[in-house]
Structure 1
Amino acid sequence: MKLSKCHFKQLCLPLLLVTISQFAAIAQKTDTVITLNVNLNNTAQVIENIGASGCWFSEGIGKYWPAEKREAIARLLFSKQKDKQGNPMGIGLSAWRFNIGAGTTEQGDSSGIKDFRKRTECFLSPNGSYDWNKQAGYQFFLKKARDYGVETLIAFSNSPPVQFTRNGLGYKTEKDYTSNLKADAYNSYADFLAKVIRHFDQQGLHFSYISPVNEPQWDWSHPYKQADQEGSAWKNDEIYHVVKDLNSALNKEKLDTKILISEAGMLNYLYSGKGNSSSQIQHFFGPGSSLSVKALNHVPPVIAGHSYFTESNDSTLITTRTRLADTAKKYNVSYWESEYSMLADGFKEGAKGDRSAIDCALFLAKVIHADLTAGNATAWQFWNSYEPGSAEFNTRYYLIALKPQPDYKDGEFTVTKNLWALGHYSLFIRPGMIRVLTGVEHSADNKILISAWKDKNNKLVIVAINRGATDTSVKLGLANNKKAYKTLDTYLTTGDKDKNMQFSRGGYKSHVVLPARSISTLVIN
C-alpha cells in the first residue's frame, strides 16, 4: 500500500496510521463522532496467518510442568472456543513457530550459552543417528497446535547443528558477519532440515514452511561463554547457497514444504542498504539477479522480516512499512512480519518509569495495525509466547508471564493484556480473509486506528484501537455488502483487570462507542 507524499504531509504521519491515499472514501468527522465509510468492494491483501513462537521456554513447560498448567497455556494460545458467556477461551492462533534446535543443550556449560533454558537439543547426534525424543517440551506444544487446528506450522532454525558449525558452537565468536556453517556442510545442513520435516510429516505434523536462517544481519558474536542464545550471521550469497541446497533436499524427500526467507532482523534490510545481507527483496526476487530464488520450486514469492527497532516513533513506523510495501509490490512478493516483541524502547513512547499492561498492549496493537495496513503484511507473528516476568508492568517480551521454579520444572503463569491485544486480530482475522480499504479522518487526539476485514460470505470484522484518553463514537457506513447485516458482536479489552476481549451481542447498529484506551473487535454478520 502506498502513501503519497501529498497525503504524507497533509495528515502529519505521526498521527493516524490508517489514512492512506488508496482509500476510496475519506470519512468525515463531525463533533465527537467519526464516520467510517466501508466499501466492501475496495480490498487489499489476503491474510495467510497470525501466530506466535514458543521458543526456549516451551521445553521446560511442555516436558515437566503439571498437565493442567501446560494444557491451560495451550488452550490460551490455540483455542477458538468461547465460554458460556461468549467470552473467548483462547486467541486461536493460526500459525505456530517451532524452533529446530542446534544441540547446545547436549554441550551443557561448554556450549557458551549462559542461560540453560535458552540452549536447545538437536535431533541429530554427532554419530549421525537421530533421536526423535529430543525437544519433548517443544513437541508437546507443536502437537497441541495441531490438535487445536492451527492452520500453519512453521519450523525455523537459529543455528545449524553444532557439528556443522565452524567453531563447534551454536553462535559466533568472531565478528565477521559471515555464516558459522562450515563451507563443506551446506548439503549436510539442508539434508538435516529435510529429514526433520519428513519425520514430522510422518507423525501427522506437517510444516507448511521451513526457515533455515534467522536475522542474518546480526553477527551473533560473543566471547566464549558469554552468548545469550543460538544464532548465526549469513550473507546474501550464503543464504542463496543454503536455500538452493535445501530446495534440492526437499525435492529429494518428496516434500511440499515451502522455504521462508529471510527473517531479516529489521524491516529496512528487506528493501535497502548496501551491506552483504541488505536489499534482500531485490537480490532474491529481482530480475537478472545472480541470487534470484524465483526458479526454486519450494520458494514462494514471500519475504519475511522482523519489526524490531522500526517503531521508535509514528513517522518511522509508517515510512518504513510504506517503503517495504512499495518495494514488495514492485517485485511481486508478499511481506510477512514473522517476529516481533517490544525489544527496543519505542513502547515507552517518551514516558519515564514503568509502563502498565494496557500501555504495552495498546502499543503492540499499534504495531500490528501498522504492519497490516501500511506494510500490507499477509502474515503477522509474535516472537515469544511466554517468558519470565511481570504481568502488570513492562510486559514487552511476552504474551504470558512466567514465574518458574529455579529448576524450571514447575511454576506459575499469568496472562498479560498482550495476549488479548494479539487475540483481537488472531481469533477473528482468519486465513483467507481480505482486508477492506477504509477511510477515517484522524480524531482530534490522533489516537483512533481502524482496520476492516471480510470473509467469503461478507462477514465483516473491524478491529478498532482507541489510544486516546476519552471515549470516541464511530458511525458505520457500509456499502456493497451482499445482504443486510443483522447482528454486531463486540469484544472489548481495556485496562480493567476483568475486561479481556469481553463479549457483548446486539443487533446491528450504525453507531458504536470505542472506550478510552481500549481495543475493540466488532464482528458484523
Structure 2
Amino acid sequence: MFKNIYFLILGLVPGLSALAQTVPAKLYTVSINMNQTAQTIDNIGASGCWFSEGIGKYWPSEKKERIAELLFSQKTDVQGAPLGIGLSAWRFNIGAGTFEQGDSSHIRDFRRRTECFLNRDGTYDWTKQAGYQFFLQKAHDYGVPNLIAFSNSPPVQFTKNGLGFKTEHDFKANLKDDDYDAYTKFLTDVLKHFEDKGLHFNYISPVNEPQWDWSHTDKKGDQEGSPWQNGEIYHVARSLNSALDKARVNTKILLTEAGKLTYLYGDKGPAAHQLQYFFSGTGTYNLRKLNHVPAILGGHSYFSETNDSTLIDTRAQLAGQFKKHKVNYWQTEYSMLGDGYKDGAKGRRTAMDCALFLAKVIHTDLTVGNATAWQYWNAYEPGNADFDTRYYLIALKAAPDFKDGEFTATKNLWALGSYSRFVRPGMKRVITSLNTANDKLLISAYTDNKQLIVVSINYDTTDVALNVDVANAKKKYTVQTQYLTANGSELNMAPSPKQAYGQQITLPARSISTIVIN
C-alpha cells in the first residue's frame, strides 16, 4: 500500500489532480564534489535515560523487543523498508541512588529516580538498573558501535547534602571535597564490570550540564543533577584519568556536556569559555596531557535555535573557535525544550512539523557547526505521538506504575533515522552547493567512498524536483534509492523502487528524504 501512496505523491501514477499535472515542481541541481570533504562522522545516537528502567524491567517482551529494534536495527523488511533507525551510539545513565531513597530523595517523579550499583557498605549489586541493562545489552547485540556511559550526579553517599541534586545556590559541585577519587573509582568500577561482561564503553561522561544551578531550596527536585565549575571539572577529569589507568580500562573521557553551546566558547560564569580553559594548550586546566581525554568537547543544542539566524550564527562561531583550537565538536544532547520548534506559529505543532525542525537542527549542527557526533535526548518519554512531539523519539502511554503500556514511533524517530541509519561512523561529509539559493531546501552529503548519502530536507510547502550532480567520484554510480519521511502513517523512511543514477528526484513539500546512491 505504501508504494501506491508514495508514487501518488511523486506524481508517477494516474489519477493525479489537474493542478498537480499542470504545475511542475521547481527543479534544483545539487552539485557534490567528492574531492571537497569536511569532518568525519563518529556517531549519531540517542539516550535511554529514566524510562528505560520501567520498560526494560517490566514491560512484556514483544513490546520492549520492538522498541529496541526500532532504535538499533539496521535490517529491512521484505519490501526493503528499514525496521529501525540503526543508531550508532547509545547513552547509558549510571544512577546515583535516588531510587533507593524513595520519597526522601525529594525527586517528585518516581520514574526519574535511579538505582545505584554501589551499596552504602561499599559492596556492589550488579542486578540493579535491570531495565537500563536490558537496553544496553540490546544495543550491543544489534551492533551499536559506540556505548557511552554518563552520570548526572555522583552517588548520593558522596554528595555534600546526601541528595541527587543541589539545595544551595553556590554553583559548586555537589560532591564532598575528599570524595573525588571515590567518585571516579566508582565510575571506573562500573566500566570495568561491564567490560568483563563484554560490554565496552567507548566513553564515560562524568559531568552533565555543569552551567546549570540544579538547586532546589524547597527540596523538590525534578531529576538528578549537579553544577560543576571548570576547576572542579578539571579535578574530576584528572582523578578519573588516573583511575582508568590504574584499572587498565581503555575508555575515553567525554567532556563537558555544556548546557548550552555558547558556554563552550564564550558566555559568563564559573563554567564558561570551556574550549579555551581546557584546550588552549597554556591554560591552568589544560586537558591535552591526559591520555584518556580526546580533543573533543560535547555541548547541548538547547536554547540556541530560537530562530534561523541564532541557529546558524551560534554554530558558525562555534565552528570557527573549535577549528582554531583543533578540537572536535560533539552535539551530545538535544530535544525541543525551547519554543523555537514552533517556527513562530501559534498552537500545537504536528508530528511532521516537529520532525522537520529536528532535522533542521541536525543539519545545521553538521553542516555549519561541523559536529562529528550528534545525540538525541530522549529516546522515549510519555507523550502524544501526533502533536508537539518535542521531547522524544518514541511516545509512551504507560500504566501508572509504569510496568506496562503502549508506545508509538513518532516522526522524530524517522527524522533522526534519516541520518543515523545511513550516515555511518567513518563517513566524511562532502560539501554541497545548490544552483539556485533556497533557504527552505537543506541538503547535506556523506560518503565512505563506496556509496553516497544525500539527506534532503524540503522545509517549504511546495514540492521540488532535484538533480544530483556528482563530480570526481571514485566509483561509477549506477543506482539510487530514496527513503521518504512525510505526512502519512506509512511514509516513515519509505523506500522507492531503485532508480537509475541521475534520474530526477521529487522532494514532496514538508518532507525529509535520504537518497542512497550506489
Q: What displacement does 1:31 show?
A: 9.3
What is the rounded CA distance, in whole Å, between the counterparts of 1:91 and 1:273 in structure 2? Answer: 36
- 2:344 maps to a residue whose letter is G
- Give percent identity, aligned residues only: 63
- What residue number does 2:271 align with? 277
Whole-Å separation in 2 of the counterparts to 1:308 and 1:297: 30
Displacement of 1:96 in angstroms is 0.1
Residues 262, 314 of structure 2: 8 Å contact kept:
yes
Partner of 2:401: 407
- Equivalent residue for 2:484, pick from 475, 492, 496: 492
Between the aligned partners of 1:460 and 1:58, the Cα distance in structure 2 is 35
Does residue 1:517 correspond to 2:510, yes or no?
yes
Question: How do 1:3-402 and structure 2 match up within 5 A?
Answer: 32-402=26-396
Q: Which amino acid aligns with 2:494?
A: Q
Change (3 A) 1:312 1:137: same
**What is aligned with 1:472?**
464
Quote the residue 2:445 is aligned against.
Answer: 452
Residue identity in the other structure for 2:477: Y
- Preserved contact between residue 469 and residue 502 of structure 2 (Cα < 8 Å): no
* Cα drift, residue 274 of structure 1: 3.2
Count of matched residue positions in the alignment of Structure 1 and Structure 2: 494
* Unmatched runs of 5 consecutive residues or more in structure 1: 1-29
Partners of 1:316 and 1:286 lie apart in 2 by: 26
Deviations 1:236-255 (A, max 9, x none): 00000000000000000001
Using the TM superposition, give the Cα deviation of residue 483 of structure 1 relative to its aligned residue in structure 2, in angstroms: 2.7
Question: What are the Cα deviations for residues 457-487 of structure 1, in whole angstroms up to 9, with x where unaligned?
Answer: 2x10000000101011112211011232111
Cα distance, 1:443 vs. partner?
4.8
What is the CA-CA distance between 1:456 and the residue it aligns to?
3.3
Instruction: Give the conservation status (yes or no) of the 8 Å contact 2:30–2:468.
Output: yes
The code of the aligned residue for 1:296 comes to L
Question: Unpaired segments of 5 or more residues in structure 2?
Answer: 1-23
CA distance in 1, matches of 2:47, 2:435: 35
Instruction: Show the counterpart of 1:419.
Output: 413
* Conserved 8 A contact 2:167-2:219: no
What is the Cα deviation at residue 377 of structure 1? 0.2
TM-score by length of 1: 0.93
The alpha-carbon deviation at position 441 of structure 1 amounts to: 5.2
Aligned AA (2:510): R
Range moving further from structure 2, 97-106 or 217-226:
217-226
Q: CA RMSD in A?
A: 1.1
Q: 1:461 aligns with which of 437, 447, 453?
A: 453
Q: Which whole-Å CA distance do the structure 1 matches of 2:440 and 2:230 have between them?
A: 39
Q: Counterpart of 1:429?
A: 423
**1:11 aligned residue:** none
Distance 1:79 1:31 in 2: 35
Retained in 1: the 8 A contact 2:25–2:463?
no
TM-score between the two structures when normalised by the length of structure 2 = 0.94
Match of 1:26 in 2: none
Q: Once the two structures are superposed, what CA deviation does each residue of 1:175-224 show, in whole Å capped at 9, x if it has no partner?
A: 11110000000000010000000000001110000000000000100134
SS of the residue corresponding to residue 473 of structure 2 reads coil
Which shows bigger deviation, 416-425 or 478-487?
A: 478-487
Q: Which runs of 4+ in 1 moved over 4 A?
A: 441-444
Partner SS, residue 384 of structure 1? coil
Distance in 2, matches of 1:240 and 1:436, equals: 36
Alpha-carbon distance between aligned partners in 2 of 1:81 and 1:101, rounded to the nearest angstrom = 32
How many Å separate the matches in 1 of 2:25 and 2:349?
32
The answer for the alignment partner of 2:15 in structure 1 is none
Task: After TM superposition, give the deviation of residue 452 of structure 1 in Å.
Answer: 0.3
The one-character-per-residue Cα deviations of 1:227-276 (angstroms, maximum 9, x if unpaired) are 10000000000000000000000000001100000000000000002311
The alpha-carbon deviation at position 498 of structure 1 amounts to 1.3
Cα displacement (A) at 1:321? 0.5
Equivalent residue of 2:377, what SS? strand
In 2, are the aligned partners of 1:271 and 1:278 still within 8 Å (CA)?
yes
Retained in 2: the 8 A contact 1:65–1:410? yes
* Contact 1:112 1:224 survives alignment (8 Å): no
Q: Is the contact made by 2:278 and 2:287 (CA closer than 8 Å) also made in structure 1?
A: yes
**Worse-matched range after superposition: 382-391 or 223-232:** 223-232
Task: Name the counterpart of 2:473.
Answer: 481
2:115 counterpart SS class = coil
State the secondary structure of the residue aligned to 1:218.
coil
Q: Letter of the aligned partner of 2:413 in structure 1?
A: L
Paired residues of 1:304 and 1:337 also in contact (CA < 8 A): yes
Q: How far does the alpha carbon of each residue in 1:471-523 deviate from its partner, in whole angstroms, 9 at most, with x for none? A: 11112211011232111011001011211000112221242111110000000
2:503 counterpart of 1:501: no
**CA separation in 1, counterparts of 2:435 and 2:232?**
46
- CA distance in 1: counterparts of 2:116 and 2:73, whole angstroms: 29
Question: Contact between 1:114 and 1:225, CA under 8 Å: does it hold in 2?
Answer: no
